[in-house]
Amino acid sequence: MTIKVAFFDCDGTLTKARNSWEYLHRKLNIWDKQAERYQTLFREGKISYYEFCKNDALLWKGLPVSSVASLLKGITYHSGAYEVVKALKKRGILTVILSTGLSLLVERVREDLGIDMSFSNELLSESGHLTGEIKINVGFNKKGYLVKKILGDIGVSRKEACAVGDGDGDTSMFEEVVLAIGFHPQDHVSSVIHRAICGRSLLEMVEIIDEYERHTSSVV
């Protein structure tokens, strides 16, 4: 079976910052004062994911979009990010980012790496400044829904799709593809991944896909 679509997490997978929201809060020196508390409340189930994101976005109300984008430019890529996307696209594999992170970062990543499609959460702005509002396009544990929708829209089977990510927010995505790859995965996702990349480079993903395709062709 040939892989036709590759789904990527962004934060912590393509990029070195594991959480672009937290990264921005820390750069603005508001993580310890307020933002960390919102994350704790969400993790404890005391507020919804929407409330969590809404509270975070309000902390940035009035900031110039250009300033926020400039801060996010400090987030760099993991080794092999450019190369793996180039190798996959050379094979005709559709590349898609599914991220609960910020579109100001994700869209830059998509353009830099040449990825075909991206879905992320959008900070709303007016006259060049953030309004404190957010549009949630990728909810927590909703990546799997998007995988199914995208595959259905383009007529590709889950047996022809792979995904790479690192954390619990990627679990539902992993469950909807035939080949789930963890990149330095957190311990609690080990039960839902098929392979793990523990070395330095994302380019190992190509070898994993090659091995999968060889195995499935020999079984057939």
pLDDT tens-digit map of 125-153:
999 999 999 999 999 999 999 999 999 99
Provide the pLDDT for residue 144.
Answer: 98
**Span 172-218, pLDDT tens digits:** 999 999 999 999 998 888 889 999 999 989 999 999 999 999 888 76
The two structure tokens encoding residue 159? 């047996």
Provide the pLDDT for residue 216.
Answer: 84
Distance of CA 54 to the CA centre of its chain: 19
Residues facing residue 92 across a β-bridge: none
pTM: 0.95
What average pLDDT does the structure give for the chain?
95
Q: Decide: 162 and 3 in contact? Cβ < 8 Å.
A: yes
Query: How far, in Å, CA of 180 to CA of 138, rounded?
Result: 19
Provide the pLDDT for residue 33.
Answer: 76
Query: How far, in Å, CA of 121 to CA of 109, rounded?
Result: 14
**Where are the chain's structural domains?**
5-16+76-120+137-219, 20-72
Q: Which CATH class is domain 5-16+76-120+137-219?
A: alpha beta
Question: Is pLDDT above 80 for 10?
Answer: yes
DSSP secondary structure code for residue 140 in this structure: T
Query: How far, in Å, CA of 124 to CA of 107, rounded?
Result: 14
**Span 82-100, pLDDT tens digits:** 999 999 999 999 999 999 9
Angle between helices 103-113 and 65-72 in degrees, nearest 10: 60
The two structure tokens encoding residue 1? 């079976």
R_g over Cα of the chain:
18
Question: Is pLDDT above 80 for 156?
Answer: yes
The two structure tokens encoding residue 28? 């603005």
| Residue 117 backbone dihedrals phi, psi, to 5 degrees | -140, 155
Provide the pLDDT for residue 187.
Answer: 85
The predicted model gives 20-40 an average pLDDT of 91
The predicted model gives 42-52 an average pLDDT of 93
The two structure tokens encoding residue 174? 């992993």
